[in-house]
Structure 1
Amino acid sequence: MHAYPTLIALLLVAVLIHEGDAIWCYRCTSATPGCAEKFNWRGIGFLGEQCPEPNDICVKVTERRGSKETITRDCLSALSFRTDIPADKYEGCRTAAKDVRLAHYVNHTIKEHDVKRDYFPDTTFCFCFLDHRCNGASGLQKSAALGLLAMAITLLLGR
C-alpha cells in the first residue's frame, strides 16, 4: 500500500527529467483552433512535438497591427529564417529586433510581398526552455506553477 506514493513520485520525476532529449514545444499558429491567446491544447489535437535541435528553445511570437493579432508557437530552430529574432534568448519576453538592411535593394510596389517585414509594427518574442511545452502558457509562470502543484500532490499522497 505504501509503494504507490513512491511509484507516483518516481514516475513524476521520470516525466519531468529528460536529460539528453530535445525539448517538446507546441507548434501551431493562431489560425489553428485552440492556438490563439486563450490556448487550449485539446483544440489543436496534440501534445506538442519534439524540437529538431537538442538545445532548442520554445518560442511564442505575438505580432500585432491594430486589432489584428497573429500568434505563432514553435521551436526557435524552426524560426531561424526570421531576421527579427532578439539577440537575448533567455527566459522571458522581448520586442523584435529591427533589421535596417532588410530589403534594402528591393524596389517594387507590390506591398503584399512585405519584403521589409513591416506589416506588423508590434512583434514580441517570448522564450522558454525550462519546461516542456512551455510556449502554450499565456504567461511563462504557468508551467512553473503546474510543476509545483504536481510536487505538492505527490507530497500529499505520500503522507
Structure 2
Amino acid sequence: MYLCESKYTCCIVFFGLCCKTILGSALWCYQCVSTQPGCGTPFNWLWHWTKVCPEDNDVCVKIIEEKDGSQVITRDCLSSMQGLRTDIPADHYEGCRPAAVDVKLANYCKSLLMTYYEKTTWCFCFLDHRCNNAIMGHPSVVIIIFASLLGYLLL
C-alpha cells in the first residue's frame, strides 16, 4: 500500500509540510559590511553566508551611509543592530527611509572629530529570506514550490 493514494494527495501533503517548515522558520539575512570583498555594490552572494535572525518578528536591514562621495553598506538583522545604533527609524515596514535624527549623538561625534555620515538610509525587508542583498527581491520559496506543484498536477 502506498503512503499517498493519488498524486493529488501526495502534493497536498508535501505542500503542507513545506509551508510549515518555511513559514515556521526564522528569517535569514546576509551579514556583512561593504569593506569586506563582495559586500558592496554589486553584491556577490557567493562570498557571504546568511545568518538566522534571532527573533521571530525580525527584519533584514541594509544600511547605506554616505559622506564626501564614499559609501559604506552594512547588512544584518534588525535585532542585531538595535543595541548598537540610535538612528533606527521607527517605521520598519518594507522599503527605504532616512535615519532617525539623534541631535545629541551628532553633536557628541562632531566635537570628538569622530567619523560621522552626512546621509544614512535604512532599507528594511522581511517578505523573503536573504532579501537584504540588493534593491530587487528574489521570488519567494513558497511561490516556487506552489508553482512546481501546480505544474506537477497539470501533467
Q: How would you bin the TM-score normalised by the shorter chain?
A: 0.7 to 0.9
1:128 maps to which residue? Answer: 125
Aligned amino acid, residue 38 of structure 2:
G
How many angstroms does 1:126 deviate by?
0.6
For residues 121 and 34 of structure 1, the distance between their equivalents in structure 2, rounded to whole angstroms, comes to 24
Structure 2 unaligned blocks of 5 or more: 1-5
Alpha-carbon spacing, 1:104–1:34, altered in 2? closer, same or farther (3 Å): closer
Unaligned runs of 5+ in 1: none
1:16 aligned to 22, 37, 42, which one? 22
Please give the alpha-carbon distance, in whole angstroms, between the structure 2 residues aligned to 1:34 and 1:95. 24
Deviation for aligned residue 1:158:
2.9
CA distance in 2, matches of 1:106, 1:132: 35
After superposition, residues 60-75 of structure 1 pair within 5 angstroms as 60-75=62-77
The answer for the alignment partner of 2:45 in structure 1 is 41
Partners of 1:100 and 1:135 lie apart in 2 by 28
- Is the radius of gyration larger for structure 1 or structure 2? 2
CA distance in structure 2 between the aligned counterparts of 1:38 and 1:107, rounded to whole angstroms = 31
One-letter code aligned to 1:93: C
Percentage of matched positions with identical amino acids: 43
Q: Distance in 2 between matches of 1:107 and 1:137?
A: 31
Contact 1:90 1:128 in 2 (8 A): yes
How many positions carry a matched residue from both structures? 146
Deviation at residue 137 of structure 1 after TM alignment: 3.0
Q: Which amino acid in structure 2 is aligned with residue 88 of structure 1?
A: D
- Give the root-mean-square deviation of aligned CA atoms: 2.8
Residue of structure 1 equivalent to 2:146: 151
Once residues 25 and 151 of structure 1 are traced to their aligned partners in structure 2, the CA distance between those partners, rounded to angstroms, is 23
SS in 2 for 1:42: coil
CA deviation after TM superposition for structure 1 residue 86, in Å: 0.9
Shift in alpha-carbon separation, 1:135–1:10, aligned structure 2, 3 A:
same
- Matched with 2:29 is 25
